């Protein structure tokens, strides 16, 4: 298959009451782990590439990895820019086959976030890409973006309505208590707020910072209207732990014997997440 848009897979998830996993890719092994697991589980999947991933791998490699991944599987696959903050990177993504972009203006005042998001929608929609925006601000560090606890703000339901109406975005990332990176304590999601936003906003809602959120909270969030769930940190940890085990417990030096077990470890994380997101057999 060819890459499809986030709008296509997320509108179906919104109708069907499940969430699609958005897993961050940085290299071939991570991409392979995500695609082979999604294929085995017959699940739609979002390959998320951050600006940092694009800098690390090169946009041509990211494009080729995602297009190859989509070509060798029957499940719907999308290529999505995660946390785009640079308009030039958005334009590059449009030229390089991305099917969806996130514009993250969450650090800006409401009116400026709205204007920037509108500007991205105006260039992305005519080119056939879907657009995700963020309203509210998540604590933590995701690649090049860092937000302190003081700067974090939960999403206001009425502002969300106005924002979606005026920008025409296809999905909205909301801040309800999740955080990027590793949690210090037990994460507590504001389900009441999620319910209010979901009642007022028709488009698919997105949960960032989902690594480390307990299974019951994820299942409840999906029930209350979350349709896209972002996972990065748990993939990184699985990769790191598997590599560390191999290099400390043996003297192998073949990269395939180092990265192969990491790929297997990531597959296990993706399998578990797709299971609790409810997207198995939704391809």
Shorter beta-carbon distance to ligand 13P: residue 81 or 160: 81
**Residue range at the interface with ligand 13P (CB under 6 A); choices 7-15, 108-116, 157-165, 204-212:** 204-212
Q: Torsion angle of alpha carbons 179, 96, 125, 43, nearest 10°?
A: -60
Q: Which residues is 131 bridged to in the sheet?
A: 101
Report if residue 118 touches ligand 13P, rule: CB under 6 A: no
- H or E, element range at 197: helix 191-200
Shorter beta-carbon distance to ligand 13P: residue 142 or 198: 142
Structural contact between residues 253 and 45, judged by C-beta atoms closer than 8 angstroms: no
- H or E, element range at 146: strand 145-147
Report if residue 230 touches ligand 13P, rule: CB under 6 A: yes
Structural contact between residues 95 and 126, judged by C-beta atoms closer than 8 angstroms: no
CB of 127 to ligand 13P, least distance (A): 22
**Residue range at the interface with ligand 13P (CB under 6 A); choices 6-14, 66-74, 106-114, 226-234:** 226-234
Structure tokens at 17: 């009451």
Structural contact between residues 167 and 114, judged by C-beta atoms closer than 8 angstroms: yes
Q: How many whole angstroms separate alpha carbon 83 and alpha carbon 182?
A: 18
Q: Is 82 a catalytic residue?
A: yes
Q: Tell me how far apart the 2 most distant CA atoms of the chain are, in Å.
A: 58
CB-based contacts of 53: which residues, under 8 Å, 6+ apart?
24, 25, 26, 62, 82, 143
Give SS3 for 54: helix
Residues 65-84 that bind ligand 13P (CB under 6 A): 82-83
Shorter beta-carbon distance to ligand 13P: residue 160 or 218: 218
Site map 14..53 versus ligand 13P, x via CB under 6 A = ----------x-----------------------------
Task: Map tokens 């969450």 to a residue.
Answer: 106
User: How many residues belong to the site for ligand 13P (CB under 6 A)?
Assistant: 15
Report if residue 214 touches ligand 13P, rule: CB under 6 A: no
**Residue range at the interface with ligand 13P (CB under 6 A); choices 125-133, 214-222, 225-233, 242-250:** 225-233
CB of 211 to ligand 13P, least distance (A): 3
Name the catalytic one among 11, 15, 74, 82: 82
Shorter beta-carbon distance to ligand 13P: residue 52 or 246: 52
Q: How many whole angstroms separate alpha carbon 115 and alpha carbon 106?
A: 12
**Residue range at the interface with ligand 13P (CB under 6 A); choices 62-70, 110-118, 149-157, 228-236:** 228-236
Shorter beta-carbon distance to ligand 13P: residue 25 or 210: 210
CB of 208 to ligand 13P, least distance (A): 3
Q: How many whole angstroms separate alpha carbon 40 and alpha carbon 270?
A: 11
Phi, psi angles (nearest 5°) of residue 79: -115, 115
Judged by CB under 6 A, the residue of 73, 233, 261, 263 near ligand 13P is 233
Q: Which residues are catalytic?
A: 82
Q: Which residues of the shown chain bind ligand 13P in the complex (CB under 6 A)?
A: 24, 82-83, 142, 180-181, 208-211, 230-234
């Amino acid at each position: 298959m060819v890459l499809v848009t986030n709008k296509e897979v997320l509108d179906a998830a919104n109708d069907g009451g499940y969430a699609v996993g958005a897993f961050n890719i940085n290299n071939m092994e991570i991409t392979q782990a995500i695609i082979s697991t999604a294929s085995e589980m017959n699940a739609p999947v979002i390959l998320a590439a951050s600006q940092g991933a694009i800098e690390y791998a090169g946009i041509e490699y990211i494009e080729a990895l995602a297009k190859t991944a989509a070509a060798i599987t029957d499940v719907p696959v999308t290529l999505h820019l995660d946390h785009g903050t640079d308009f030039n990177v958005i334009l590059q993504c449009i030229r390089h086959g991305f099917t969806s972009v996130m514009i993250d203006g969450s650090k800006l005042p409401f009116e400026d976030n709205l204007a920037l998001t509108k500007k991205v929608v105006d260039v992305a929609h005519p080119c056939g890409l879907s657009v995700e925006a963020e309203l509210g601000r998540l604590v933590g560090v995701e690649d090049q973006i860092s937000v302190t606890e003081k700067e974090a703000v939960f999403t206001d339901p009425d502002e969300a309505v106005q924002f979606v109406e005026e920008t025409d975005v296809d999905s909205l990332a909301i801040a309800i208590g999740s955080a990027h990176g590793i949690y210090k304590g037990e994460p507590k999601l504001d389900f009441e707020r999620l319910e209010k936003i979901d009642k007022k906003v028709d488009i698919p809602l997105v949960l960032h910072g989902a690594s480390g959120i307990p299974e019951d909270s994820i299942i409840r969030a999906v029930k209350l209207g979350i349709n896209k769930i972002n996972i990065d940190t748990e993939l990184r940890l699985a990769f790191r732990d598997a590599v560390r085990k191999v290099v400390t417990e043996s003297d192998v030096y073949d990269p395939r014997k180092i990265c192969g077990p990491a790929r297997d470890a990531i597959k296990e994380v993706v399998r578990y997440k797709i299971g609790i997101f409810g997207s198995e057999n939704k391809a």
